[in-house]
Amino acid sequence: MDQNYSFYGSVKKSFEKAAAFTKFDKGILEQIIVCNSVFSMKFPIRRDNGDIEVIEAYRVQHSHHKEPCKGGIRFSENVNQDEVMALAALMTFKCAIVNVPFGGGKGGIKVNPRDYSAYELEKITRRYTSELVKKNFIGPGIDVPAPDYGSGEREMGWIVDTYQSLKPGEVDNAGCVTGKPLSLGGVRGRKEATGLGVFYGIREVCKNKHLMDKLGLSLGVEGKTVIVQGMGNVGYHSAKYFRENGAIIVALAEFEGAIYNPKGLNEEEVFQFRKKTGSILNFPGATNIENSSLALELPCDILIPAALENVINAHNAHNIKASIIGEAANGPLTPEADEILLKKGKLVVPDMYLNAGGVTVSYFEWVKNLSHVRHGRLEKKFTENINNTIIAEFEKISGKPLGEKERRIISKGPDEIDLVHSGLEETMITATHEILDIWLKNPEIPDMRTASFISAINKVATMYGELGIFP
């Protein structure tokens, strides 16, 4: 990897490429790409062995054009300020693309969670949260973190608990973080949201005849071969929804290696196997690929990098055989890789649109926290009563009673999970069409990433213009 590579620089480069297609004032464009506030912190914790260790961490608020700021907290030994800035910027564009009313933010804690006990991680997370509180960098109307690489429900639980103990009586304080366990104010459907959003996004793209013809692919996801890199929350759920909808998962990759089976892999079986043996390798019926990154180069229709940034770069982009590359991770392609894949006629479906399912459902969680009522609680029974009346009328007129199964399907009022999934599906479909409308109507726009950036810039710049925020 190039030592001088800057992830933020690469986001900026893509932004500028897109900005050239817009007519906004230079100053407005600059205000949109810069990071508004960068909080870099250091704090000590005592390790289980008695040593004191200084932890390095960040929270970046990229844009305040809408508040609160929103974005996950990454726990990784590779965290640095440049990376957190890039990821925060991507959050601004991501939220704009899927019409979620937040500015972008991101946090990072420079630790490898595998090297720490649960108790140590709890201390780190709680201390990080109190640092954020001290500097007014967290709150339901200020900045709302969420899970990211290396963090999940457990960490979000520690955050909300710490925040609530420091801000007692703030009636909306459960909305200070999303991705929480259900019992602490989480929403049903958050866990699978990013993976499901990836599936909905690619499914929508695969419905576009013009694009599929250009790639020489048939319409639809069914029967397509898929490779997923990363078996974390996003990779696991992406694989699950592709498989359940008729795609064939031919390879799965993790950092210790990858496995290949042209007949198809079941992500749950692989997940259980890895949990038991500690490795994805030697999964029954599959071929081992010791060098995990070579899995990216295997033939398939759809490649889903769902782990970290820069995994497809100037060194390996030439070898990518997939027709569609769906960026489930944030920044898995470098700008050089983007150029190479474009020349090879590949379709890159960009991160800030494709993996927006997580923040979309985070938005539904935040709305739930502010409204203090579970989604569906008010309308479920009402809808069921109406549906039952319609069924009774239908049976009266037709003289035929409905079967038990049909009756159940038609009469059902929505539960929270139904509403969350439907809201996510609708969001991804709308965003896809907004982007494709921009892209396919203007032959000058080279790729879908540029079109996505243009979609985001249009929305954010218009907002700045309408706010007249410049003194």
Q: Are 115 and 121 in contact (CB under 8 A)?
A: no
Smaller CB distance to ligand GLU: residue 71 or 139?
71
Shortest Cβ 428–ligand GLU spacing (Å): 13
Q: Which listed range, 352-360, 393-401, 420-428, 439-447, lies at the site for ligand GLU (CB under 6 A)?
A: 352-360
Burial of residue 321, with CB atoms counted within 10 A of its CB: 0-12 exposed, 13-18 middle, 19 or more buried:
middle
106 labelled catalytic? yes
Strands 287-289 and 103-109: unpaired
DSSP 8-state code for residue 460: H
Determine the residue with CB nearest ligand GLU. 72
Smaller CB distance to ligand GLU: residue 235 or 358?
358
Q: Are 201 and 425 in contact (CB under 8 A)?
A: no
> Angle, nearest 10°, between helix axes 193-205 and 357-371?
130
Shortest Cβ 178–ligand GLU spacing (Å): 5
Give, as ranges, the residues between 216 and 235 that touch ligand GLU (CB under 6 A).
none
Smaller CB distance to ligand GLU: residue 187 or 249?
187
- Lookup: tokens for 460: 């954010």
Shortest Cβ 149–ligand GLU spacing (Å): 8
Smaller CB distance to ligand GLU: residue 7 or 283?
7
Helix, strand, coil shares of the chain, percent, nearest 5, are 50, 15, 35
Smaller CB distance to ligand GLU: residue 98 or 281?
98
Report how far residue 243's alpha carbon sits from residue 261's, in angstroms, rounded to the nearest whole number. Answer: 14
| Residue 430: CA count within 13 A, CB half-sphere | 14
Smaller CB distance to ligand GLU: residue 365 or 447?
365
Smaller CB distance to ligand GLU: residue 71 or 376?
71
Shortest Cβ 147–ligand GLU spacing (Å): 6
Shortest Cβ 88–ligand GLU spacing (Å): 10
| Chain position carrying tokens 């986001």 | 11
Give, as ranges, the residues between 166 and 185 that touch ligand GLU (CB under 6 A).
178
User: How many residues line the site for ligand GLU (CB under 6 A)?
Assistant: 12
Residue among 358, 428, 431, 453 that touches ligand GLU (CB under 6 A): 358
Residue among 122, 143, 148, 338 that touches ligand GLU (CB under 6 A): 148
Report how far residue 60's alpha carbon sits from residue 38's, in angstroms, rounded to the nearest whole number. Answer: 5
Beta strands in 230-346 (DSSP E): 248-254, 257-260, 287-289, 302-305, 324-326
- 452 scored as a contact of ligand GLU (CB under 6 A): no
Shortest Cβ 138–ligand GLU spacing (Å): 13
Tell me the C-alpha to C-alpha distance, in Å, between residue 30 and each of 24, 66, 99, 122, 359.
Answer: 10, 17, 21, 38, 25
Q: Which listed range, 2-10, 29-37, 38-46, 355-363, lies at the site for ligand GLU (CB under 6 A)?
A: 355-363
Give, as ranges, the residues between 289 and 348 that touch ligand GLU (CB under 6 A).
330
Smaller CB distance to ligand GLU: residue 143 or 416?
143
| Strands of the sheet with 248-254, listed across from one edge | 287-289, 257-260, 248-254, 225-229, 302-305, 324-326, 347-349
Sign for the pseudo-dihedral over CA of 89, 91, 94, 98: negative
Residue among 10, 63, 233, 362 that touches ligand GLU (CB under 6 A): 362
Report how far residue 365's alpha carbon sits from residue 376's, in angstroms, rounded to the nearest whole number. Answer: 13
- 146 scored as a contact of ligand GLU (CB under 6 A): yes
- Residue 391 dihedral angles phi and psi, to the nearest 5°: -60, -45
Per-position x/- string for 112-131, each x denoting binding to ligand GLU as judged by CB under 6 A, each - no binding: --------------------
DSSP 8-state code for residue 291: S
Residue type at 283 in one-letter notation: F
Q: Is 276 helix (H, G, I), strand (E, B) or coil?
A: helix
Q: Which listed range, 141-149, 241-249, 316-324, 331-339, lies at the site for ligand GLU (CB under 6 A)?
A: 141-149
Shortest Cβ 102–ligand GLU spacing (Å): 8
Q: Which listed range, 128-136, 145-153, 245-253, 437-445, lies at the site for ligand GLU (CB under 6 A)?
A: 145-153
Shortest Cβ 220–ligand GLU spacing (Å): 27
Give, as ranges, the residues between 54 and 83 that touch ligand GLU (CB under 6 A).
70-72
Smaller CB distance to ligand GLU: residue 11 or 270?
11
Shortest Cβ 416–ligand GLU spacing (Å): 17
> Which of 156, 80, 152 shows the shortest CA–CA distance to 113?
152
Report how far residue 211's alpha carbon sits from residue 262's, in angstroms, rounded to the nearest whole number. Answer: 25
Q: Which of 66, 106, 180, 368 is catalytic?
A: 106
Strands 52-61 and 324-326: unpaired
The set of catalytic residues is: 106
Instruction: Name the site residues for ligand GLU (rule: CB under 6 A).
Output: 70-72, 146-148, 178, 330, 355, 358-359, 362
